[in-house]
Every structure is written in C-alpha cells, then in structure tokens.
Structure 1
Amino acid sequence: MRPSSLLPGFTLIALSVLPGGCTMIPHYQRPDAPVSTTWPAAGKTPAQNAENTALMQDWRGFYRDPVMQALIAMALQNNRDLRIAQQQTQAASAQFDIENAALFPTLNGTAGANVQKMNSRIWSLSQGNAPIYMRQYAVGFGVSAYEVDLWGRIRSASRASFDRYMASALNQQAMRLSIISSVATALLNWIANNQAVMVTQNVLENRHHAYDLVKQTAAVGTGTQLDVAEAETALHDAEANLQIYTRQRAEALDQLTLLVGTPLPDATIHAMNARPSLASVTPFPDVPEGLPSDMIARRPDIAASESALRAANDDIGAARAEFFPKIQITAANGTASNNITRLFQSGMGAWNVAPQITLPLFDAGRLTAQLHQAHARKSEEVARYEHTVQTAFREVADALAGRETFNGQNIAREASVTASQRQYTLALQRFRAGYDPYLATLVAQRTLYSSELAAITTRLEAMSNSVTLYKALGGGWGKSIPARKSPLADHLL
C-alpha cells in the first residue's frame, strides 16, 4: 500500500459500490392462454341464491362442517408435506438473499503482520553474518473482487432467484390447497365407508333372519334345500362385504391421520362417529353462474408456473451479459508501518485499488451454448405453463359438468332406493305368505342392497366433485389476485 490520506481510499471504495446501468433481460410477456374464453356448454350452472353465492374469502366459508374444519385446521398445523414445502420456500428465500447480496460489495476488516528473515550475505546488506528482519504491519478495511454490474448479469441472476422464490412460495400455497382438499375428501371417504358398514350390517342381520326362516320352511316341507343354499350364499356374501367396507373404513382413517399429521383426538373421533351418513355433513355452497374462464389464473400452481417462466426469462439476460467484459475492483484503505508502535500515528495512512477487466476472447462456444440453453429452457417453461393452464381448464370444466349432472344422478339414486325398498317389502310378504319362492325375495334384497351402496357412492362422488371444483378454482371464487411484488434488483436498474 502507498501511504496517503484516508480520503482517497474512502472515495474509491464508495465509487466501487455504485450499481450498473442496464440489464439484458428480454421483455417478458405472458403467453396467451391456450384455452377457450368460455366454459364448455356442459359446464354451465344455474343461477343460485345470494346466500350460496357468497364470496369465498377463506376456506372455512366453503368447508362449513365443524368436524371438517377441525381436521383441516389440524392438518395445516401438523402436516409434514406442508412443512417440507415451507422449508423449501425458506431455502429459496435464503438463496435469493445470497444472489441479491452479490449486488453489493463485501467489506472486510483486515489486520496482518509480515515478518521475514533475510540473509545479509545474499542481499549484500551488511558485512556481518547477523540476520536482517523485514517487518510490515497493516490494519484497514477493503473490498475484494467486487464485480461492477454494468451489463446486469448479477441483476439478472438476482431476479431469476427472486422469481424462483416466488414459484416456491406459490407451490407452498398449492400444497396447502391440496392438503385442505385431501383432508375433506378423506373425511368424506371415511363417512361413506362407515355408512356402507352400517348398511351392510343391517343387510347381514336381515339375511341371518332370512336364512333361519328358509331353514325352518325347508324343515316343514314348504321350502327346498335350494332355497337354503341360496340364503346361505347371500349370507356369506354380506359377511365378506362387511369385511371389505370395514377394511376400507380403517384405511380411510389411516389416510386421514396421515394428512392431519397427528393422532386424532378422542373428541374428534366421537364427532366423526356422530356423522352416520354423508347427508349429515354440512352441505357445500353452490358455485355462482357465469364464472369467467380466466379466473383460473388465480390458481397457485398456474402462478408458480408463470414465476418459473419469468425466472427462465431472467436467465437469458444473465447468459447474454456473459459475452461482455467483467469489471472487478479490489480496494483497501487503512494504515501500514514497519513498526507496530507507529501503526496508528499520523501519516501512516495507506490505500490501494486494483481494478481488473476480463474480456472473453475464445471459449470454444461455451457462452453461445449457455445462451442457447437458456432460450431452450424458457421455451420449455412456456410449454409447461400452457400445459398447466390447459390442465386447470379441464379440471374446472369437468367439475362444472359434474356439478350439473350429479344433482340429477343423486335424485335418481334415491328414487331407486325407494323403489327397491318397496320391491323387497312386497317380495318378502309374498314369500312369507307362500306365494313366491325365496329366490324372488333374495333378488329383491340384493337389488335393494346394490341401490343403497350405489346411492352412497353417487353422493360421495358428488360431494368430492364439489371439493375438486373448489380446488380447481384456486380455493374459492371471491378472492382477488394479489399483486406481484418486485425484487430489490428491479429498483436498482
């Protein structure tokens, strides 16, 4: 270092931290959505009343059942997949901070000493053999290899990191929405299987009575052994079905416990058992008429895909900037002396500055290949974004079509159960009166059992379709899309 006043050193270090002047990021334009501007005709929904079309500002406005709300709240607090997504978002945020820090110089405080023993004969510094000691002490602060971002390479990398952080945060929201929907679906599955267990238990009890009755009629000669065999077969079929639905109910409970992320409290299990059928679940609100197709842009997975596309667009700017010279500055300011006792005395000030310019001359096409790679990745993200939009459009259209048809299907299933119940009652009366063989009663009973199970399945599908529609619409239809925040690099352009 060259002795001087401290002012020039301060000036040089201050100049070294000035931001650059431009970036080479291409102008971003959101790709046109490759979907229709309206929903298919099958997705139209009738007008609903004002209460049911209330804006869904929070998931509790849609999932109104108290048991379902309690389970979802526990899942949002304890679900491990959501925790993983949260930590991934934190890591992406930290990575953005790392990239953003490169916009500014790193200022380090330094203190050092250098002592050398010199051979006096080699250097002819003295006539004797006594060694000569060279000492140097220095204290100061400085900037090491700070890159002046004239072409926006660091800014482009910072913006790309910010957009990837935004994508991670939006993926976390998508995970949250998925967990909410999964918990609701798992609860509905548990209630449906529990209802199927109770229906099957009732059928099994009836078949036990029928089996005993058929054996009695066969013993007195008014029945046949064929009737006994048919009744026994039906009895064992019901026993097998009971085991199936019991197993499915246990699996649904295991799935629900996994989603919630903690063992279910006894009070919650008791409240679940108080839901004997899907009809006892608080209904979901209806979807209003005339939803625009572009509202799916609020979906977090679509917004995350667009953020990934923005990041790929930013990478092109960084790849372009690599073709231009890099200017790096190393600067230091402090005091220096060959005697530590005089290190802080007047006149010991010293500073140095070492700018360096690096210009790529030959790299065997590496930089060109990196630029081509950046363009290819952007095209890939464009295709991925368009595919995400198309998938979202199909999910909403399918759910709207399901909403329109499941209502009629439920009505038809309930009517079928009523008719089957009447058929079974009449067949049983005719059998007991001796007009018909047991086979007619067995057929009617099987028809009733199948109708009851089909009604449960249809109602489950209808309610699950409502959950799917809520998720497909991005978690409601009344929330406004939040404005995208700008990274710090945008303010330094």
Structure 2
Amino acid sequence: MTSLVKLTLMGAASAVVLSACSLAPHYERGVLPTSQAWPVATEISAQSADSLGWREVFLDPRLQKTIELALDYNRDLRVAVLNVEQARAQYRIQRSALVPNLDGTISATKTEAPVPAANGVDGEIDFAKSENFSANFGVTAYELDLFGRVRSLNQAALNDFFSREENRKAVQISIVAATAQAWLGLAADQELLSLSRQTLQTREEGLSLTQRRFDVGAASQLELSQQTILAEQARNDVATYEALVQQDLNALRLLVGTELPINIIPRAFPENAILSAIPVGVPSEVLLNRPDVMAAEYNLKGRNANIGAARAAFFPSISLTGSAGYSSTDFDQLFDGGSTWTFRPSINIPIFDAGARIAGAQSAVAGRDIALAQYERSIQTAFREVSDALAVRSTIDRRLAAQTSVLGAAQSTVDLSQARFDAGIDSYLSLYDAQRTYYTAQQGLINTRLLREINLVSLYSALGGGFDAAE
C-alpha cells in the first residue's frame, strides 16, 4: 500500500504543478452596448428594485398568497430548479477529472485441472486444485493537465451551472410578475363585471319605466328603442365580462399550478396593492445585475473556456496509469506477502487529424462570438424593457388624472341631462348620449387604474426585482 500512496501523491503533486497553464482567452467585460442614461428623465436612486424582495412590493395579502402558491407549484419554475440540479451534478462529474480516481478490486480464482493418477494406473486421472487471491488498487489514465484542457472544461461546466442558476432566478422573476399581472387583470375584470351588472340593473329599471310611459303615450317609440339599446348593451357586457373572468381564473390557475383558495380571489380592484415608488438605479448597475443578463454573461464565459480546451487539443497530453496489489494462495495471508506495483505513463502527440482540431478551435471561437452577441442582445433587450416601463410611468399619472376628470364631467353631464329631460327642455337623445358617455368613462377609469398597476409590475420586473434569496 505504501507504493500506491506514493504513486497517488506523486500524480496529484504533478497535476498541481503542471496544470497552472490555461490557453483560454482572458475574459474582459466590454462596454455596455446601450446609452449610459435612461431615455426618459428619471430620478435615480441609490437603491434599485432588484434589492427589494417581492413581499416589499406586492402589499395585498391575497396577492402575496397567490404568488407564494405560484412559487411552490408552478411547473416552469420546477423545471428551472431541476435544470440547476442537473448542471450542478454535471459540474461535479467534470470536476472529478481534476484529481486522480482511485479504484480497487479484490478477486479470487479457483482452478481444477486433470493430472495423471497418483497410483500410476493407466487410464485413471486425478484433479489438481489451486486457489489464488489478489487485491489491486490503481489509478487509471489520469491526465496531467499540462495545457489546461481539463481545467477549461471544468470552468465551462461551472459557468453552465451558474448560468442555469441565474436562469432560474429569471424564471422566478417572470412568474412573480406574470402572477401579479394575471391577478390584477382578474381583479379589474371583476370590477368591470360588477359595474356592468349595476349598469344593467339601472338600465332595466329605466327601460321598464320608459315602457310604462310609452304605454300611456308619455314616451315616444324612439325613446323606448334608445332605452332598449342601452339595456341590451349592458346585458352584452355582463356576458362578455363573465367569460373574461372565467378566462382570467383559468390563466391564473395555470400560472399558480394548483387550485386557488376562494379567499384569495379578488372580487374588486384593490387600492394600494403595489408599492407605488419603485426605485430606479443607473443603467450600468441595473442592466448588469438582471438575472437573464448575468445568465448570458456566464454562458459567454463558458464558451470562452471552451476555446482553451480546443486550443489545448493541439498539444501533447500525458496520462498516468499505475497500480499496486497483493496476491496469495491463502486468503488469510493475502496482505502478508510482498506487494507488486506498476507505473505506466503515456504521452499522446497529435500528428495528423485532417484538420479536425483546427475546425474544433474555429467552432469554439464562433461559439464564443455567438454568446457575445447574445449577451449584448440581452443587455439591449433589458434596456428597452426598462425604458418602455419608464415611458409609461412618466405619463400614467397624468392619464389617470385626466380619466378621473372625464368621469367627473360625465357624471355632471348625466345629472344635468336628466334634469333638463325631466323639465322637458331636452329630448331623450341628450340623456341617452350622456348615459353612454358616463358608462364608458367608468370603464376607462378602471382600465387606466389597471394599466398603472401593470406598469408598476413591469417596471419592477424589468429592473431585476422579484427574486427573493429566501425563496
């Protein structure tokens, strides 16, 4: 055993001394392929959204519970987590090539061969029996990483693991944002459904009153037809929003991955469900910290390491094989006798391969260039997503204020038109138009409020928020 220990230690020491060389290009992060400032005037904060856990942003307890269920049961996130575990195992397999692998075998052989009989009588034979026991331990084809081939492959596997981990974070952010948006969409459609039902009830009452007035000659056929149109429009809206609510529930169930408890389903559009002040940092910090951008960068680093492995294939490689063992005809004395050992180094020198190694190196370089373009593209995509969200945020409050004013004016118009109609000053046509405008303004306000909340979710997600390390 002493010889084997020496052999193993010698191989490990040689690997440490000789494997310092790497032929992979030196990696340097380039200049951002985007502007250094956001295109919309924005107050820059020392803190950015990526430092906020999603519970600090989504404040409604029902929404928080919905997101928790999605993070527990969503199948896309489950696949992303399993991809990380697979990459972790693959990295451990590749890392094992950096150190010698020790194998041991214990075997027993029993033979029985015919021999002439001991009594010397012709035609009679005896059987000679023999037993042999052996124990062997050895290192098989351990490659000395002279030019960093194994280490480059190890770095590529490590960066693949990191990339998948960042992709998992990106999937989690996407699921948090998608769940919040679907929940808010359901809440808005529930509000619109409630509004359409209230409007239908009011218009049916108006239709009934107009029908009685028409029956006694106090209302014209035109007024009855206009009131009928209003009622039927509201009835159509009720049916439309009932279908939309069911579709919203189906979409939310798919995102969450399980059935939704009844107490977390919104029945109306909530107030202050989301933090309104989402902090925004400078582009150079926001973009590079987004998980999808970091995943693309790790992928680029892995492709860069592959170039080192491809270049190392042009140089000789040395492999070490050694073994030590014991043998005996008596198992009880197997380790009492003398030991035997072998040490067999081998060198592989590339001579001619019809250009295969050159093509391998060219493929590795092209793969690195593809990964670089993908990395820059991911930064540009992130920049656009943040810019789009900031563009909406810069105008949404004005739109909401304007829509609120429209609703107030529409309400006043309905009141005045009703008073003028009751006094016989205006025809029912003016009241009919005022009622339609008021109903449309109510719907517009709900949709604008939804747009504002959806924009907050989009901005938070685009800035890299939504990942919580505690999850």
Note whether the superposition's TM-score is higher than 0.5: yes
Pick the aligned partner of 1:265 from 256, 261, 265: 261
The 1:216/1:293 distance shift into structure 2, 3 A limit, reads farther
SS in 2 for 1:298: coil
| Structure 1: 5+ residue stretches without partners | 1-5, 122-127, 481-493
Give 1:118 shift.
Answer: 7.9
| Structure 2: 5+ residue stretches without partners | 117-122
Separation in 2, partners of 1:161, 1:288: 36
TM-score between both structures, scaled by the size of structure 2: 0.90
Give 1:259 shift.
Answer: 2.3
For 1:22, the equivalent position in structure 2 comes to 21
Separation in 1, partners of 2:6, 2:98: 19
| 1:8-407 alignment, distance < 5 Å | 8-18=3-13, 19=15, 20-40=19-39, 43-45=40-42, 56-114=51-109, 136-269=132-265, 272-273=266-267, 276-278=268-270, 280-288=271-279, 291-337=282-328, 342-346=333-337, 348-407=338-397
Q: Confirm or deny: 8 A CA contact 2:176 2:466 kept in the other structure.
A: no
The 1:101/1:396 distance shift into structure 2, 3 A limit, reads same
Separation in 1, partners of 2:369, 2:225: 68
The 1:47/1:474 distance shift into structure 2, 3 A limit, reads closer
Separation in 2, partners of 1:54, 1:383: 27
1:83-103 per-residue CA deviation (whole Å, 9 max, x = no partner) reads 111111111111110110111
SS in 2 for 1:328: strand
Number of residue equivalences:
459
1:42-88 per-residue CA deviation (whole Å, 9 max, x = no partner) reads x223699x9x9999532222112222222222222222221111111
One-letter identity of the residue aligned with 2:10: L
Separation in 2, partners of 1:53, 1:220: 69
Q: Confirm or deny: 8 A CA contact 2:81 2:168 kept in the other structure.
A: yes
Q: Confirm or deny: 8 A CA contact 2:43 2:280 kept in the other structure.
A: yes
Give 1:225 shift.
Answer: 1.9
Range with bigger deviation, 355-364 or 163-172: 355-364
For 2:457, the equivalent position in structure 1 comes to 467
Give 1:180 shift.
Answer: 1.2
Give 1:264 shift.
Answer: 2.0
Q: Confirm or deny: 8 A CA contact 2:172 2:466 kept in the other structure.
A: no
The 1:293/1:341 distance shift into structure 2, 3 A limit, reads closer
For 1:412, the equivalent position in structure 2 comes to 402
SS in 1 for 2:340: strand
Q: Confirm or deny: 8 A CA contact 1:102 1:154 kept in the other structure.
A: yes
Separation in 2, partners of 1:462, 1:11: 71
Range with bigger deviation, 110-119 or 373-382: 110-119
1:184-229 per-residue CA deviation (whole Å, 9 max, x = no partner) reads 1111111100110111112111211221222223223332223322
SS in 1 for 2:444: helix
Give 1:134 shift.
Answer: 8.1
Separation in 1, partners of 2:464, 2:440: 36
Q: Confirm or deny: 8 A CA contact 1:96 1:158 kept in the other structure.
A: yes
Separation in 1, partners of 2:79, 2:2: 51
Separation in 2, partners of 1:287, 1:94: 38
Range with bigger deviation, 358-367 or 217-226: 217-226
One-letter identity of the residue aligned with 2:360: Q
One-letter identity of the residue aligned with 1:77: D
For 1:125, the equivalent position in structure 2 comes to none
The 1:54/1:34 distance shift into structure 2, 3 A limit, reads closer
Identity between Structure 1 and Structure 2 (%) = 35
For 2:119, the equivalent position in structure 1 comes to none
Q: Confirm or deny: 8 A CA contact 1:140 1:333 kept in the other structure.
A: yes
Q: Confirm or deny: 8 A CA contact 1:335 1:344 kept in the other structure.
A: yes
1:246-296 per-residue CA deviation (whole Å, 9 max, x = no partner) reads 111122222222222222223323xx33xx334x24342313477444422
Give 1:434 shift.
Answer: 3.0
Range with bigger deviation, 392-401 or 130-139: 130-139
Separation in 2, partners of 1:27, 1:54: 32
One-letter identity of the residue aligned with 1:95: Q
Root-mean-square deviation over aligned CA pairs? 2.8
SS in 1 for 2:449: helix
Q: Confirm or deny: 8 A CA contact 2:44 2:280 kept in the other structure.
A: yes
One-letter identity of the residue aligned with 1:155: R
Q: Confirm or deny: 8 A CA contact 1:103 1:154 kept in the other structure.
A: yes
The 1:412/1:53 distance shift into structure 2, 3 A limit, reads farther
For 2:120, the equivalent position in structure 1 comes to none
TM-score between both structures, scaled by the size of structure 1: 0.86
Separation in 2, partners of 1:288, 1:372: 45
Separation in 1, partners of 2:196, 2:149: 69
The 1:53/1:385 distance shift into structure 2, 3 A limit, reads closer
One-letter identity of the residue aligned with 1:418: G
1:2-32 per-residue CA deviation (whole Å, 9 max, x = no partner) reads xxxx544432232123322312111001122
The 1:47/1:295 distance shift into structure 2, 3 A limit, reads closer
Q: Confirm or deny: 8 A CA contact 1:112 1:137 kept in the other structure.
A: yes
